[in-house]
Each structure stands twice: as structure tokens, then as C-alpha cells.
């Protein structure tokens, strides 16, 4: 799709389509939807940030919340190499030395009134964040120096940033920190919620394996380890694949222990269930 902004044709991105479902932690979902709510004609939506350890489901929550609103979802993966033009508009050379301007997923969401998920936002540099400052306050626009256009956000546009709570990320500039509020903490799920997530992602697995993995994860959580349900899914999936290779001859407990070792390393074996 192509739209024209101030006489400049912009080629829009396609929305993301994920097969995910948010399980449990409805309070986090309620807080995110509340942050996006507009309660008066003079009110504006907030730009929340979801904070948690890698793999706890921050992106899943953001996507599921957007789908509850019936909106298109656009995900932009942030990295240390993300430049301002990557966030906004990128020039691409076409035949005949002509420039084609391609809108980022974020800008596409702004134009179409969708939801933008800025994934792992605290991996970006301050220079990249600075290009979003006007979008994140009551001005609600972004200015592309490359294309020479100012793009105003659709009234239905919503934004959420996910941020990992680990040592590999940058601190947010203070002027951005105050624009990304509220901060919604996503913690490890309770056992039954974790088991439900495992069932959702591995519907072809028997309960014995899923319960084993849920017990492993809960013991790891109690010791404040960073293992997440994403790790648990990989443990169960690898064990199932190894058993298929063995035509079911190997014992399930042995395969699961091996899968924990090969997936997370020897230190993780201390949390392997005893039975």
C-alpha cells in the first residue's frame, strides 16, 4: 500500500500476524489496556513500557492486547544498530536511480491507526530515541529528515515498548523515560499459568512431560534463576524430538534430564525434579 504525505509517496509495511494467546496475569493486561484508554476528548493515550526478564511474554501480552482492541499490529525489533531512519522512513534506490521511501512498521501504525510494538526498546541508542520524542508527548508526530515530511499519528494509534530487565541493555534517557509511562512489570507466571502456556504451545505433548517442565521452572523461579517458560518449551520440545528419534525406546525422565542439560547447561540440573 502507498500513501502520500506532503506530496511524498510512502510505501507502508504489512501488519504482523502471530498465532499467540495471552494466558494468565490478567492484571498486566488490564493495566496495559487502561494506559491506552482515552477518557475525554482532551485526553491522550499513554505510551506504556513492559518490563521483565527475557522470555516472560512481554511481546505476547502487547500483541494480545492489541488484538483485543481489534487493531492491526506492527512490530519493530530494536537493536543497538537501530538508526532514526530505521524507526521512521528508509530510502531505497529503485531502477533509474530513483528513491523509494519505505515507512517503518512504527510509521505505518501511525498512519493506519494501528498498534506499534517497539520490541526490546532499551537496546536502542539515545540518538534513535530522540527521533521519537515528539511522537511520545502531546505533539504525537514524527519528522523524517530523510523524506522531508512530518507525519502525524492517527487518533487511534497506540504504542507500547517492551524492555528486557538484563545487563545487555541501555539506560533510557530521562526525557524518554518520562514519556514511556506507566511501567508495567511482567513477572514469572504461577505454576498453573505456566502449565497452561506449555499446553498451548505444545498441544501434542503428554501431561507427564509438561508437568515435569512446569515443576522444573517453578523450582528455578524460587531460586531467582532467569529461566523462563520459553526455555521450558524448548526443553519439552527437544525431549519429544529425541524420543521420536529413539522410536520411544528411551525413558522419558532420562530424555528430559538430557534436554535440560543440552538446552540450559549443567547448572540447570540442580532444578530437575527428583521424580
What's the pLDDT at 163?
Answer: 94
**For range 191-215, the mean pLDDT:** 93
Rounded average pLDDT over 193-198:
92
pLDDT tens string 88-120:
999 988 776 788 999 999 999 999 999 999 999
Across residues 134-146, what is the average pLDDT?
95
- Number of domains, the chain: 2
> Do 256 and 179 reside in the same domain of the chain?
no
DSSP one-letter string for 26-65: HHHHHHHHHHH---STT------EEEE-TTSSHHHHHHHH
What is the pLDDT, as a whole number, of residue 248? 64
CB half-sphere exposure, 20, CA atoms < 13 A: 18
Residues 50 and 180: their CA atoms lie apart, in Å, by 10
Q: What's the pLDDT score for residue 168?
A: 63
User: Is the model's pLDDT at 167 over the cut of 70?
Assistant: no
Of 23-32, 135-144, 166-175, 265-274, which one has max mean pLDDT? 135-144
Question: With 80 as the cut, is the pLDDT of residue 268 above it?
Answer: yes
Nearest Cα residue to 193 out of 220, 167, 218: 218
**Residues 178, 48 share a domain:** yes
Say if residue 94 is in the same domain as residue 172. Answer: yes
Q: Are residues 135 and 210 in the same domain?
A: no
Q: Which domain holds residue 235?
A: 191-271
User: Global pTM?
Assistant: 0.87
Across residues 209-213, what is the average pLDDT? Answer: 95
Count of CA atoms in the C-beta half-sphere (13 A) of 142: 27
Amino acid at each position: 500500500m502507498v500513501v502520500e504525505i506532503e506530496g511524498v509517496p510512502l510505501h507502508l509495511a504489512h501488519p504482523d500476524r502471530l498465532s499467540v494467546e495471552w494466558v494468565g496475569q490478567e492484571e498486566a493486561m488490564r493495566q496495559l489496556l487502561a494506559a491506552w484508554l482515552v477518557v475525554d476528548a482532551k485526553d491522550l493515550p499513554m505510551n506504556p513500557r513492559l518490563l521483565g526478564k527475557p522470555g516472560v511474554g512481554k511481546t505476547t501480552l502487547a500483541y494480545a492486547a492489541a488484538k483485543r482492541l481489534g487493531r492491526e499490529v506492527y512490530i519493530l525489533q530494536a537493536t543497538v544498530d537501530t538508526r532514526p531512519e530505521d524507526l521512521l522512513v528508509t530510502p531505497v534506490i529503485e531502477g533509474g536511480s530513483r528513491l523509494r521511501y519505505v515507512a517503518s512498521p512504527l510509521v505505518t501504525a501511525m498512519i493506519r491507526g494501528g498498534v506499534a510494538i517497539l520490541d526490546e526498546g532499551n537496546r536502542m541508542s539515545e540518538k534513535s530515541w530522540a527521533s521519537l520524542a515528539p511522537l511520545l508527548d502531546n505533539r504525537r508526530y514524527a519528522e523524517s529528515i530523510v523524506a522531508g515530511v512530518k507525519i502525524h499519528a492517527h487518533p487511534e494509534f497506540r504504542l507500547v515498548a517492551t524492555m528486557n530487565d538484563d545487563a545487555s541493555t541501555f539506560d533510557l534517557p530521562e526525557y524518554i523515560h518520562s514519556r514511556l509511562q506507566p511501567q508495567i512489570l511482567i513477572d514469572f507466571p504461577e505454576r498453573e499459568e505456566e502449565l497452561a502456556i506449555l499446553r498451548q504451545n505444545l498441544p501434542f505433548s503428554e501431561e507427564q512431560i509438561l508437568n515435569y517442565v512446569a515443576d522444573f521452572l517453578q523450582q528455578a523461579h524460587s531460586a531467582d534463576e532467569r529461566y523462563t517458560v520459553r526455555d521450558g518449551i524448548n526443553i519439552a520440545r527437544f525431549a519429544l524430538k529425541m524420543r521420536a528419534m529413539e522410536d520411544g525406546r528411551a525413558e522419558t525422565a532420562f530424555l528430559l534430564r538430557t534436554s535440560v542439560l543440552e538446552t540450559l547447561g549443567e547448572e540447570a540440573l540442580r532444578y530437575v525434579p527428583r521424580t
